Structure 1
Amino acid sequence: MASTSVDQVVPSTVRARRYVLFRIFAVLVALVFLVLFGVWQSILTPWVLFPDVTDHGWARTPELHRYADAAAAVGMGAAGVGALVAALRPARRAGLVAWVGGTLTIIGLGSIASVLLQQHTGLLGALVQGLVTVAVTAVPFVLLHPERRAVLRGGAAGADVPVGAVRIGLLVLGGAGVVLAVGMLIWRLTGGIFESPREDDVLSFVVLGLSVALGSRLCLTGREGWRPLVVILAVVGAYAVVGALSLALG
C-alpha cells in the first residue's frame, strides 16, 4: 500500500510543478506581448496617432501604416491574452494552449520575412533570429505544459462543439482569416505597398489572418479550451471591424 501511495504522489507532484512552471512562463509571454511590446498602447492605433518610435531602418510615416499597426497590435494582444488565460487555468485547455503556441510560431517565422524586407540583415541572420524567437517563445510554451502531447495534437477533440450562430461566426472568421492572409500576400507579391518596398506591413495582416484561421479551426473541432478561445476570436473580429471603419471614416 505504501508503495502504491508513493507511486501516486510522485507523478502528481511532478505534474503540479510543471503547472507552476507553465504558469510562470505563460505570464511572462503575456507581459512581453502586452507590456514590453507596447500593445496596451498600440491597440488604440485606429483612434490615436502615435509617433513611430521603432527604428525600421528607413523613414516611415506612421499615418500610412495605421491599418497594419492595428493588425499587429490585435494579433499580438490576442496571443498575450490567450497566454494569460491559459496561465490562470491551464488544465483541460490544450486547444487554447496549442493556438497560442501556433500563433507564437507564426509570429516567430514571420519575423524572418520582416528582417529580410526591412534589410536589417542577410538571410542567415534572419533565419537565426526567426528560429531563436520560436525557440524561446513557442517551444517552451508548449513543452512546459503538463499535457504537451495533447497540445502538440491541437488539443483533444470532444463531442462538445460549437453549434448554431457560434459555429457560423467561426466559419466566417476562419474564412476571413484565410482571405486576409492570402489576399494580402498576393497584393504584396504583385507590387502592392503602403509607402516603401522595405515595409513589412503585409506580415501584420498575414500573421493575424493565419492566427484567426487556426483558432477558428481548433474551435470548430471542439478542442479543449475552445470556449475562451471563441471569446478571444470574437473580440478580435469586433476590433477588426470597428477599427477598420474608424480608420476609413476618420
Structure 2
Amino acid sequence: MPGFLDIDGVSKSFGGLKALDGCSFSVAPNRATCLVGPNGAGKTTLFDVITGLLRPTSGQVVFEGQPITRLDRREIVKRGIARTFQNLRIFDELTVVDNVIVCLADETGNNPATAILRPYFSNAVVRRKTEQAMDLLKIVGLDHKAGDLASQISFGQQKLLCVARVLATDSELLLLDEPTSGLSAKALDTMVEMIDRLRSLGKTLLVVEHNTQIVRRISDDVVFMHQGRVLACGDPDTVLADRKLIEIYFGGALGETAA
C-alpha cells in the first residue's frame, strides 16, 4: 500500500562514489520517522533528493501518489514538502519576523509594481503577512524576539526560527535535518517539545537525528541507513535493539550520542 511519501529504489552517484544505493522505504502520514545511521550514511543526500536539490541517478520519489523526482525545488515546496538545513540558512541581516515573512506560502503582493501602483493594498498585505508570521512565531515561542535581528538571538532560538520558516510554507511534510545538534540541554528539551507540537498540529515529520535517546522520544518509526543503503525499518525499540546495527553505529553503547 503506497505511503504518504515513498522512496522507491533511489540511488545517487557522484562520479565513482555511490552516495545512495537503491534506497526504498515509506513514510506514513501524521507520524514522525527518524533517519539514523553513521556519518556518511547518505541521510542528508537523501533529503537533497527528496527536496529537489539533487536529481537521483535512478529510482523515484513519490509524494501523495505523484512522482516528484523531476520537479524543481520551488514546485516541491508548493506540493507540500519543506526542510531545514544543518547550517540553518537564515537571513542574519533580517529581523526574526521578516525571516518568517519571506517564507510564507501566500505570495500575494510580492510584485514590486504593486507597492508603487497600489500602496494601500500593499500596506494591507504587509500587515496581514506580519500577523501570519507572528502567529507562527508564537507557535515556536519566539514572538517576543520578533523585532530582533536573526543574528542576535541564540543558536537554539535560531533553530526554532528555522522551524517557524518551514511552517510558513504551509507544507504537510517537514524534513528536519539534525534539529537538536549543538543544543544545550535546556534548548534540546525545548526542541523535543517543539517536535511533539508539530505532530499535534498534524504535520508529518522526517527527521535526521543522531542521539538515540531523542530518537526514542520523538519517533514513531525509524529508518537505519549505512553506506547509502537502507538496512532496517521499524519501530524505535526494535531497530535500536538490533545488535548488528549497534555494532555498525552505536559501538555497543546504546543511548549515547553518536559522533
TM class, shorter-length: under 0.3
Q: If the length of structure 1 is used for normalisation, what is the TM-score?
A: 0.26
Q: If the length of structure 2 is used for normalisation, what is the TM-score?
A: 0.26
Which structure has more strand as a fraction of its residues? 2
